[in-house]
Structures are given as C-alpha cells and as structure tokens.
C-alpha cells in the first residue's frame, strides 16, 4: 500500500455514529448474528420508504441484480439493454444469468443511457432494460417506462447509487418494476456490504428469499425442500443494525450532499471543466463528477497524481465496460459508443461525503484550478 498524506481528503467516506456502533455491539452480544430480527426490521423500514412494496435484503446489489434478472425470467439467448458507463457489476449480472448485454450510448449531458436510442437497440431477443442512475441522478422514469411498456420489457432499475433520489416527487423504489439498491460503504447509506431489491408482489419476494439462500423453503413439519438453485447471499443482522442506523440519517446525508454540490458549482465556475446537471430536485448527489477538457483526457492520471500530492483523492467512475478485456473477448466492444467512450476517458469524481467541510470544497476547487493551469488547460473549453 502506498503511503498516504495524513490529511488526504478521500473522495468518499462512510459516516457511522456511536449509536449505530452500540447497536452493532448489541447484536454481537445477542447470540443471533445471521439473518434475523434486525434484517426484518430493516426490510420493513425500507418497504415503508418504498410505499409499502416488498423489499428484501441481500449481501450485495450485484446479487440483487442477478436475482432480479432470474425473477424476470431472463436467461441464455436473451438480450438486456443497458449502459456501458457503470460499475461492471451491472453488466456482469447479465452475463451471470447467461444473457447478453446490449450497450446503448449515453446522453453526454446527463451521462445516463440515451432514451432516444433504446428503440433502435430492441430485437426479438430483448427481454429487459437495466438503466443506471449514475451519481444518483435518476434516469427519466416517464420515458423509461413508456419504452418498456411499448415493447413489453421488464425493467430492473440499477439504483445502486440512487437511494433517496426522487423522480418528480416520488422516491425511487416506491414505483416502477424491480429496483436494486446497494449498501456498499461508498454508497449514500451502508450496511458494510449489502443491498436490497424492491419487488412487485409477495410471490416475487418469496422467490427472492429462495434465491438468496440455496433455493430452500421450509416445510410445515420442520424439514426443508429445495426446488430451484439458489445462492448464498443473505445479509447478517450485524449488517442490518448498521443499515438501521444509516437509514435514519439518509435524508440528512442527502441534504448535506446537496449543500456541498451547490458549493462545488459556485467554486468551480470558470474552470475548464464540464460540470454535471445542476439538479437539486431529483438527485441524491451520490457523486460530483466533472469531465476534463478533451485535450487533457490523456493526462488524467497526471491530474489524479498532482491532486493526490495536494492531499486530495479523486476517483474514476467508471472506465467503459464494453472496452474491458472480458467484454472485448465476448465481442461486445465492436459497437461504437462515442459518447460513453469520450465521457469515460475524461470523467473524475471529486470528494463528496456528508462529513466533508465547506472549506474542503474550496480547497478541492483551488487545487484543481492550479493543476489544470499547470497542465496547460486554462481557457480551454470542456
Ligand atoms: C455499487 C454498484 C453496484 C454493485 O453494488 P454492490 O453492492 O457492490 O454489489 C452496481 N451498480 C452500480 C451502478 C453501483 O454503483
């Protein structure tokens, strides 16, 4: 591991309060560590936010996406439309169930799947769409469900980054088809590792319960049956106790993220960077991402190194999935995705997390201004 400056500002950091730490201690002392009462309590609390829809916990959003695809009946020979500008989990889940990801280019302004290009990507094999709410900025749900309805497709919302985000007043998860959230430590709320799926019915929820634990169901006489091949992806009560503490603070976290995002817009004004849409209604501001000017794309590693020397960590979210080795080997890189490739080569995630100070935003902006000038980007338009 490299040596970090003591004052390194990370691009994100979870915020766990003492009350939550004490609640984890209570679980550890209780004698029941695996899936139990704390998981049920968190599922009920998440379901309340989802307007009463069934919610089940799982060990990762990756598993939630995979099980959602299985519940939607997606398998070998099927195609699933998605974006290449995401964490590789999104399309890995599609490959895991034996289906083929079909990447549609992004809209360079929103950096989300371009709704206008979905129609053209639909074939006789298309079964589902997995949109991704990158940075917590929601995909247009009206257009999404219109296109899905028109073609009879299932939707699996990869809302891993979008817990607490809204679409015209409605919280994500409270409407739509299958909705997956992640509780990885980098997300807006965490369980250490974990995730959940919001579903349409108790039938889907009981199928999900089987999928997350070996495909077993309990018989009335206390024995078990197994009628489908499930995985091992249940969540622990230790993790759920963390999630209960986090969920209480989620709205406050998002409010603080919004404030910091507003400060970024103020301090980054005039820098040669492409900024995200200034949305303070729908987004949960999971990330604040900027694009370097095209002329500096090849020097992104230098930007990251120089910022790190200034005590500031930046992230890359994400390299384009279709250009990764596995995807190239599967012949999935052939399709031209010019906006995805351009944005993926220039994108940088700036530090943004609830415990960050106002002064940190200014520090990031000043350092970025200096680094860009040193690299000769001053005045160049993004
Ligand atoms: C984090 C993330 C995932 C995977 O979540 P895990 O809980 O780590 O499995 C999937 N999709 C997107 C867009 C993510 O950001």
**Ligand 1 centroid – CA 182 distance (Å):** 6
Point out the ligand 1 atom lying closest to the alpha carbon of residue 317.
15
Q: Is pLDDT at 6 greater than 70 in this prediction?
A: no
DSSP class per residue in 110-168: T-SB-GGGHHHH--TTEEEEE-B-GGG----HHHHHHHHHHHT-EEEEE-TT-TT-EET
Q: How many residues does the chain have?
A: 382
pLDDT band at 4 (very low <50, low <70, confident <90, very high): low
Dihedral, CA of residue 248, residue 166, residue 59 and residue 92, to nearest 10: -160
CA dihedral 162→351→274→121, nearest 10 degrees, is -30
End-to-end CA distance of the chain: 34
Structural domains in the chain, CATH included, are 18-243 (3.40.640.10), 250-374 (3.90.1150.10)
Residue 216: pLDDT over 80:
yes
Position 3 pLDDT exceeds 90: no
pLDDT (tens digit per residue) in 109-137:
999 999 999 999 999 999 999 999 999 99
Distance (Å) from CA 327 to ligand 1 centroid = 18
244 vs 66: CA distance, rounded Å: 24
Mean pLDDT of all residues belonging to the chain: 96
Decide: 194 and 237 in contact? Cβ < 8 Å: no
Ligand 1: does its nearest atom lie under 6 Å from the Cβ of 58? Answer: no
208 touches ligand 1 (CB under 6 Å) = no
> What's the angle, vertex CA 194, arms to CA 242 and CA 70, rounded to 5?
150
Question: What pLDDT score does 97 carry?
Answer: 98
Beta carbon of 296 within 6 Å of any ligand 1 atom: no
Q: What number is the average pLDDT over the span 50-75?
A: 98
pLDDT over threshold 50, residue 60 = yes
Closest CA to 239 of 159, 185, 181: 185
Range 149-158 average pLDDT: 98
Predicted local distance difference test score (pLDDT) of residue 2: 53
Q: Which of 85, 88, 92, 158 to mutate to test the pocket of ligand 1 (most atoms within 8 A of CB)?
A: 158
Range 241-258 average pLDDT: 98
The answer to whether the CB of 163 falls within 8 A of the CB of 186 is no
Helix orientation angle between 300-309 and 358-374, rounded to the nearest 10 degrees? 130
Q: What is the pLDDT of residues 180-196, one digit of tens each?
A: 999 999 999 999 999 99
pLDDT of residue 379: 53
- pLDDT-based confidence at residue 334 (cuts at 50, 70, 90): confident
With b meaning 16 or more CB within 10 Å and e meaning fewer, what string describes 208-246?
bbbbbbbbeeeeeeeeeeeeeebbebbbbbbbbbbbbbb
| Residue 7 pLDDT | 82
For residue range 262-302, what is the model confidence (pLDDT) as tens digits?
999 999 999 999 999 999 999 999 999 999 999 999 999 99
Quick check: CB of 87 below 6 Å from ligand 1? Answer: yes
- CA atoms of 274 and 109, how far apart (whole Å): 9
- Cα of 217 vs centre of ligand 1, distance in Å, is 28
User: Residue 312's pLDDT is what?
Assistant: 98
Reported confidence tier of residue 1, pLDDT bands at 50, 70, 90: very low
């Amino acid at each position: 591991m490299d040596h970090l400056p003591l004052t390194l500002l990370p691009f994100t950091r979870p915020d766990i309060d003492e009350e939550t730490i004490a609640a984890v201690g209570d679980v550890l002392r209780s004698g029941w560590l695996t899936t139990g009462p704390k998981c049920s309590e968190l599922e009920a609390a998440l379901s309340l936010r989802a307007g009463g829809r069934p919610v089940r916990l799982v060990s990762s959003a990756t598993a939630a996406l995979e099980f959602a695809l299985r519940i939607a009946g997606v398998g070998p020979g099927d195609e699933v439309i998605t974006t290449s500008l995401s964490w590789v989990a999104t399309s890995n889940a599609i490959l895991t169930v034996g289906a083929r990801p079909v990447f549609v280019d992004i809209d360079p302004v929103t950096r989300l799947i371009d709704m206008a290009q979905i129609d053209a990507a639909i074939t006789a094999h298309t079964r589902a769409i997995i949109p991704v709410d990158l940075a917590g900025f929601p995909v247009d749900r009206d257009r999404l469900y219109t296109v899905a309805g028109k073609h009879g497709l299932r939707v699996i919302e990869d809302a891993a980054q979008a817990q607490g985000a809204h679409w015209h007043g409605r919280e994500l998860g409270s409407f739509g088809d299958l909705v997956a959230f992640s509780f990885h430590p980098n997300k807006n709320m965490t369980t250490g590792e974990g995730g959940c799926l919001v579903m349409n019915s108790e039938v889907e929820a009981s199928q999900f319960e089987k999928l997350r634990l070996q495909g077993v169901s309990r018989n009335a006489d206390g024995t078990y049956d197994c009628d489908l091949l499930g995985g091992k992806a249940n969540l622990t009560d230790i993790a759920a106790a963390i999630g209960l503490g986090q969920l209480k603070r989620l709205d406050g976290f998002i409010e603080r993220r919004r404030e910091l995002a507003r400060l970024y817009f103020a301090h980054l004004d005039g820098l040669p960077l492409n900024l995200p849409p200034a949305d303070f209604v729908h987004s949960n501001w999971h990330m604040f991402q900027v694009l370097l000017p095209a002329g500096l794309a090849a020097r992104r590693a230098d930007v990251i190194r120089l910022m790190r020397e200034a005590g500031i960590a930046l992230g890359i979210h994400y390299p384009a999935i279709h250009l990764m080795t596995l995807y190239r080997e599967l012949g999935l890189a052939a399709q031209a995705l010019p906006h995805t490739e351009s944005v993926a080569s220039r994108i940088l995630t700036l530090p943004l997390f609830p415990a960050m100070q106002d002064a940190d935003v200014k520090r990031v902006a000043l350092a970025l201004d200096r680094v860009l000038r040193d690299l000769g980007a001053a005045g160049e338009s993004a």
